[in-house]
A and B are shown apart, each in its own frame.
Chain A
Amino acid sequence: MKISERVERVPPSGIRRFFELTEEMDDVISLGVGEPDFTAPWSAREAAIDSLERGRTSYTANRGMMELREAIAERSRERYDLDYDPDEEVLVTAGASEAIDVAFRAFVDPGDRVAIAQPSYVSYVPGVTFAGGEPVPIPTREADDFELTAEALREHGAADAEALVFCYPNNPTGATMSERDLEPIAAFAREHDLTVLADEIYADLTYEGDHASIATLPGMRERTVVFNGFSKAYAMTGLRLGYALAPPEAITAMNRVHQYSMLSAPTTAQHAAIDALDNCEAQVREMRSQYDRRRRFVLSRFDEMGIDCFTAKGAFYVFPESPWEDAEAFAETLLDAEGVAVVPGDVFGAGGEGHLRVSYATGMNELREAMDRIERFLD
């Protein structure tokens, strides 16, 4: 069968190889997991079950249930003082990842350049490529606390891009960006007329300071698409529910792709999400406080081991420097010798080389054992 050139050009995910290596072994403690170890709050799960009992199994409106869109808009108003019209400016999708894919297909023409702040979530480059666009990696550096800078944008050719994608708090580095850090990025986007795709899926998992959304900066709301969802903060990864917030013409375009592919996001998950927004704030806070403890624990263990590790301030990852120059060899040998899985940073793109992504979305007991094993391995 003929495979399209677009697909052939995209290599399989580097994560996949580590997954296979890890699956072959017993007694592995995996710090390679990109999702919460918590289960979704019971209240949200119960709402999903209830919706099934009441037979709510049909499609919803393409853009998602109005009640959910209203709740999402309300949240944005409360958190960021950003008003989005639930009717025209909210799109509910099957995970934030669908929203991002739909955005690439809605905004990118063949040959269009899309600047991607890296290291980053592994789907942006393939997403742009599948849409026929040309990914332009913009590396961020540990020296800049893995923040995106206007200099990096200029230096790596973002000025003639159509769009810019970034994610803060960041997977894999755990970096965050404050409003002040975002201002030069916003200025650059305005100056070069870039559409900004702001992946804020980890927004609620910010441990130092408050999360800032670039859409709140002057002249940015009209050129920004904000992505968020329920996977990380509400521990609802498997329910596949996310959303995009953007001006009407952007949502209309994205919805055109969405309505012909997904039709509507999973109905059961939408019921769970309404409940999550209504009733689960306390549990989100509790999970955040658990992650924060583990973050401090892991940072302090790496410090004791003499491993240089940037002070991650969000998400559930730390991004230490690999003790060996070859991070991939280190990760493989560590897995083999001690049964601890971490992910070499280069699979996340430019700027990730020489680092390891260590997820602390793992219970304290396993985390403690994993850190002890790493320490033993280094001795």
Chain B
Amino acid sequence: MDIRAELLSLLRENARYTTADLARMLGVDESEVAERIESLEDEGVLKGYQAVVDWRRTDEEPVRALVECNVTLDRETGYDDIAARLVGFPEIQSLRLVSGEYDFSLTVEADSMGEVSRFVSEKVAPVPEITQTVTHYLMESYKERGIEFSSDGDDDRLSVSP
């Protein structure tokens, strides 16, 4: 077993596993787990630990939108330069360069549709290299990061079976 890969897989499954439980599942010492996590963080492999939230079950659902951006490049400006212009906005939750009919795929999050629209039209669209944006408001989320939102988790197995 590749301990490092298995550790990453466990943390991606549940970042709240305690070091002790990770050690038990990996069959190694707690201190080794702690060291490995630290070095994964130091190397920048582990970027953070975040919760997956089903906003529909709260009273404070933010507005989210997927924004497609087309860009034109020139001698002085590459994708990374454009990304650097965008990446610092806190409204942008994710920013990815993708293949296909558009170049950048953004997830934008704000408190209202108006805020999202204003952000896109005032901060994203005006970037000189960006030639076109298409905004898709997120209407319903069924699954995020591998977690199904509708699943009730009911266990209908017999409580004791051979």
Residues of chain A touching chain B, judged by Cβ–Cβ distance below 8 Å, are 13, 15, 18-19, 22-23, 28, 30, 32-35, 37, 121-123, 171, 289, 293-294, 296-297, 300-301, 341, 343, 364, 368
Contacts and interface: CB of A to CB of B under 8 A. Distances in A.
A33 B6 CA distance: 26
20 contacts: A19-B158, A19-B161, A23-B159, A30-B160, A32-B159, A32-B160, A33-B157, A33-B160, A34-B161, A35-B157, A37-B155, A121-B162, A123-B162, A171-B162, A293-B10, A293-B25, A293-B26, A296-B25, A301-B24, A368-B21
A23 B159 CA distance: 7
Contacts of B159: 19, 22-23, 28, 30, 32-33, 341
Contacts of A122: 162
Contacts of B158: 19, 33
Given A293-B10, A300-B27, A364-B14, A19 B21 contact: no
Nearest to B155: A37
Interface in B73-125: none
A297 B25 contact: yes
A368 B16 CA distance: 13
Contacts of A341: 159-160
A173 B113 CA distance: 58
A30 B157 CA distance: 10
Interface in B36-86: none
B161 A33 contact: yes
Given A30-B159, A33-B159, 11 more contacts: A19-B159, A22-B160, A28-B159, A32-B160, A32-B161, A34-B161, A34-B162, A35-B157, A293-B26, A341-B159, A343-B160
B162 A18 contact: no
Interface in B115-162: 155, 157-162
B21 A15 contact: no
A121 B161 CA distance: 11
Interface in B5-29: 6, 9-10, 14, 17, 21, 23-27
A151 to B, nearest CB: 28
A290 to B, nearest CB: 8
Interface magnitude class on chain B: 10 to 19
B105 to A, nearest CB: 26
A122 B161 CA distance: 10
Contacts of A364: 14, 17, 21
B148 to A, nearest CB: 10
B24 A296 contact: yes
Given A37-B155, A37-B157, A364-B14, A297 B21 contact: yes
A343 B23 CA distance: 27
Contacts of A293: 6, 10, 25-26
A7 to B, nearest CB: 18
A364 B26 CA distance: 14
A147 to B, nearest CB: 21
Contacts of A30: 159-160
Given A364-B14, A368-B21, A296 B160 contact: no
Nearest to A39: B151
Contacts of A15: 160-162
Nearest to B23: A300
Contacts of A35: 157, 161
Contacts of A123: 162
A300 B21 CA distance: 9
A294 B26 CA distance: 9
Contacts of B162: 13, 15, 34, 121-123, 171
B25 A19 contact: no
Contacts of A34: 161-162
A368 B27 CA distance: 15
Contact of A18 (B6, B14, B160): B160
A44 B155 CA distance: 20
A122 B23 CA distance: 35
A293 B10 CA distance: 9
A372 to B, nearest CB: 11
B126 to A, nearest CB: 44
A321 B146 CA distance: 38
A341 B26 CA distance: 25
A61 to B, nearest CB: 30
